[in-house]
Amino acid sequence: MAEVTLRKVVKRYDDVEAVRGIDLDIPDHEFVVLVGPSGCGKSTTLRMIAGLEDISDGEIMIGGDVVNDVPPKDRDIAMVFQNYALYPHMTVAENMSFGLRLKHYPKAEIKQRITEAARMLDITDLIDRKPKQLSGGQRQRVAMGRAIVRNPKVFLFDEPLSNLDAKLRVQMRIEIKKVHQKVRTTTVYVTHDQVEAMTLADRVVVMNHGRIEQIGPPNELYHRPATKFVAGFIGSPAMNFIPCQLEESGGLLQVRVSDAAAFPVPAERVARYRAIPRDTKLLLGLRPEHLVDAQSNQSAAFQPFDATPDVIEPMGMETFVYFPLAGAQLCGRINPGIDAQAGAPLRLAVDLNHMHLLNEATGAVL
Amino acid sequence: MVDAAQSMTQPIRARTTRSGLRKFLERKSTIAFFMALPLMLLIAIMVIYPAFYSLHLATLNKSMQRFVGFGNFTFLFKRETFWMVVQQSCFFAITAVIFKALIGFVVAHLVHNLPDKGQRKWRGMLLVPWVIPPAMSTLAWLWLFDPSYSAFNWILAQVGIGPIPWTGDASWARFSVILVNIWAGAPFFLIMYLAALKSVPEQLYEAAAIDGANWWQRIWYITLPMMRNIIAITTLFSLIVTFANFDIVRILTAGGPLDKTHLFATWAFRIGIEGNDIPLGASISLFMVPILAIAAVFILRDINKRGNEA
């Protein structure tokens, strides 16, 4: 096991920069998830750590050693691929033991490691089967088993759950977390699914356009996003953004979203927001769970307003309502017991204690 | 009343028969059968009929007047030339196929690793020997091997190596016919292997690289097993075609010197057509069937056993 360090790592393809100088320190035992939209450079970063892509500039260190020019086989890493990359002509046991056999481990030790890993992943009955005789979830377990038996310094996962159906994905997500809790190997996991990132990671690295937008524990990213991109990417349904202005009214600082709607800024934020120049174009960021029905949220923290939802999405334990406000389409989350109808007026309330104010031009959260 | 009922049921029955026939004609398997029928007829006329006819011919005497049973075959078994042809055909086919497969494999790897831009050009150029009709290209080789004007001998003379009797000496003649066969046949292996190589997912190599496999181990543990079926089928196909080769030997050496380079096809032609003993020629050519059948059974059994593992 080892720590992984990236220093100003750059990847260029001809004249396109896929990764633009990223710095990242991953301590021993940590589970780090690289998350971002397609083409953000997360997979390229992972492949550079694996040694499957050359590094155009910068340094990658595994366990304190610079590995820029070390071939993948000498980096002591294991990788789980999106399509599993199991050797189709080998049985599960042969697939899992391939790396160990190449390194001439004693047969008894190979057997012991396979048995242990198979037990951990619940694939003991499958070890004599060929990959084509396995389901997607079972293949995924074998691919993980192949990584575990090697007992490497670092685990790398490249979107390992993308090929599974929704139910299996949740199940395997839990399996991966369990395995990490047992083996505690430093793990770098790439996904475009923010739910996977939030549920698995000790720390999440949000990437966009080849750069790191923000690094932090899942809760920090959710509650204190640094940029509009992170605020919009993390969380489902996504955060609402409403063009707004700050204004003073009778000594009270308000966020005005339309001629008809203005909400007072919570007392503890007033000093911070007052410092913002008045001509700055702003966005009010609100998560759906902070746009709620007024009926069940009547405390002083909530500011009521009227809206007319055009779409209602009942989810069982909650109901999402979509409504227009100040030229933006917003999503709110209401109590499922409320009888909301599309096209009928609904009294909603906003919890500004969880509001975010963003600079529209720079995307920075203020 | 009854009559009226009967007269009504008749057209109904006729209609159902007609719709049944229509259904039969519209069935996918029926359409497929009729579409394949011309080819099946062609095979019947061009392959099955001549095959049975040659079986019939092989049982006749030289003047084709009298039935002699296995007489032609027992006569062949007693002739030294026959055993020499058996030996030469096997040696020719096995050596040529091994080298064609090896060269095809190596060159396929080289081409596969070329950047995409240059790859098409090389692929096209490397296929040329396979595309030229062998009779024509062998004529060019004949000139290269010519005792008086050999370009090879001229080059060798420049470095002080004496003239080589490319087609005049038995061993060199055997070497020459194999060389030309390899030259003409290797591109077939190249193109088949290249297609097979392209179908091996890149991630398998990446997984193997991470598992600790070096270049050679990746070939041994990934490429070869993944290509096994293609290798087997290509080898079988090439073995059949090489074993039954006619044009190269016929043009380059005409079986000489002293019948030393004859294959079944060229010897059957020499005896049957040139020697005017068609029944004996037919018996010679029939010997190819059991030898190739044994090879086919072994190779195809292996393919069936493995099935499709992907």
Decide if A187 contacts A193 (C-beta within 8 A).
no
pLDDT of B240 reads: 86
Which residue among B207, B308, B310 places its CB closest to the CB of A81?
A: B207
The per-residue pLDDT string of chain B (310 residues; one tens digit each, 9 = 90 and over) reads 445 445 555 555 556 667 788 888 788 888 899 999 999 999 888 888 888 888 888 888 877 788 888 888 888 888 888 898 888 999 999 999 999 999 999 999 999 888 888 888 888 888 888 888 888 888 889 888 887 778 888 888 888 887 888 888 888 888 999 999 999 999 999 999 999 998 899 999 999 999 989 989 999 999 999 998 889 889 888 988 898 888 888 888 888 788 888 888 898 898 888 888 888 888 888 888 888 888 788 777 777 666 544 4
Domain boundary among A178, A194, A225: A225
Query: Does residue A219 fall inside a structural domain?
Result: yes
Query: Does residue A235 fall inside a structural domain?
Result: no
User: Is B226 in contact with A150 (Cβ distance < 8 A)?
Assistant: no
pLDDT of A331 over the 90 cut: yes
pLDDT in tens, A150-185: 889 999 999 988 888 888 888 888 988 988 898 889
Helices (H) and strands (E) in chain A, counts: 9, 21
Chain A residue at shortest CA distance from B310 = A88
B7, HSE (Cβ side, Cα atoms, 13 Å): 4
Domain boundary among A197, A225, A253: A225
Q: Do A158 and A274 share a domain, yes or no? A: no
Token pair belonging to A274: 């007052």
Query: Does residue A366 fall inside a structural domain?
Result: no
Chain A residue at shortest CA distance from B204 = A85
pLDDT of A248 over the 90 cut: no
Share of chain B above pLDDT 70, in %: 92
pLDDT of B178 reads: 93
Chain B residue at shortest CA distance from A150 = B211
The CATH class of the B73-306 domain is mainly alpha
B242, HSE (Cβ side, Cα atoms, 13 Å): 33
CATH of the domain at A284: 2.40.50.140
What DSSP string runs through A309-332? -SEEEE-SS-EEEEEEETTEEEEE
Domain boundaries, chain B: 2-57, 73-306
**SS3 of B120, please?**
helix
Candidates B215, B302, B303, B279; CA nearest to B76 is B279
Q: Report, as an integer, the average pLDDT of A208-222.
A: 92
Taking the CA of residue A72 and the nearest CA in chain B, the distance in Å comes to 5
CATH of the domain at A198: 3.40.50.300
Q: Report, as an integer, the average pLDDT of A337-360.
A: 89
Q: Do A245 and A215 share a domain, yes or no? A: no
Q: Do A105 and A33 share a domain, yes or no? A: yes
Taking the CA of residue A170 and the nearest CA in chain B, the distance in Å comes to 25
Q: Is the ipTM, as predicted for this complex, more than 0.85?
A: no
* Residue the block writes with tokens 């087997």: B232
pLDDT of B310 reads: 44
Sort out which chain B residues have CB atoms less than 8 A from A49's CB and list them. none
Query: Does residue A339 fall inside a structural domain?
Result: yes
Q: Report, as an integer, the average pLDDT of A232-239.
A: 89
Sort out which chain B residues have CB atoms less than 8 A from A81's CB and list them. 203, 206-207
Query: What does the alpha-carbon distance between residue B104 and residue B190 come to, in Å, rounded to a whole number?
Result: 4
User: Is A85 in contact with B203 (Cβ distance < 8 A)?
Assistant: yes
pLDDT of A257 reads: 85
Query: Does residue A364 fall inside a structural domain?
Result: no
Query: What does the alpha-carbon distance between residue B123 and residue B241 come to, in Å, rounded to a whole number?
Result: 22
- Tell me whether A101 touches chain B (CB under 8 Å): no
Q: Do A215 and A351 share a domain, yes or no? A: no
Q: Do A208 and A295 share a domain, yes or no? A: no
Q: Do A274 and A217 share a domain, yes or no? A: no
- Tell me whether A71 touches chain B (CB under 8 Å): yes
Q: Do A220 and A281 share a domain, yes or no? A: no
Chain B residue at shortest CA distance from A87 = B204
pLDDT of B14 reads: 58
Instruction: Write the CB contacts of A14 (distance below 8 Å, at least 6 apart in sequence).
Output: none
**What does pLDDT average to over chain A?**
90
Count of structural domains within chain A: 2
pLDDT of A101 over the 80 cut: yes
Q: Do A203 and A104 share a domain, yes or no? A: yes
- Tell me whether B201 touches chain A (CB under 8 Å): yes
Q: Do A183 and A99 share a domain, yes or no? A: yes
First to last CA, chain B: 69
Domain boundary among A225, A253, A280: A225
Q: Do A254 and A209 share a domain, yes or no? A: no
- Count of CB contacts below 8 A, A vs B? 66
Rounded to two decimals, the pTM is 0.79
Query: Does residue A231 fall inside a structural domain?
Result: no
Q: Do A288 and A177 share a domain, yes or no? A: no
Domain that holds residue A113: 4-225
Candidates A124, A181, A204, A191; CA nearest to A160 is A191
- Tell me whether A357 touches chain B (CB under 8 Å): no
What DSSP string runs through A54-85? --SEEEEEETTEE-TT--GGGS-EEEE-TT--
**Which B positions 110-169 lie with beta carbon below 8 A of chain A?**
none
Chain B residue at shortest CA distance from A88 = B310
Instruction: Write the CB contacts of B24 (distance below 8 Å, at least 6 apart in sequence).
Output: B30
Q: Do A261 and A333 share a domain, yes or no? A: yes
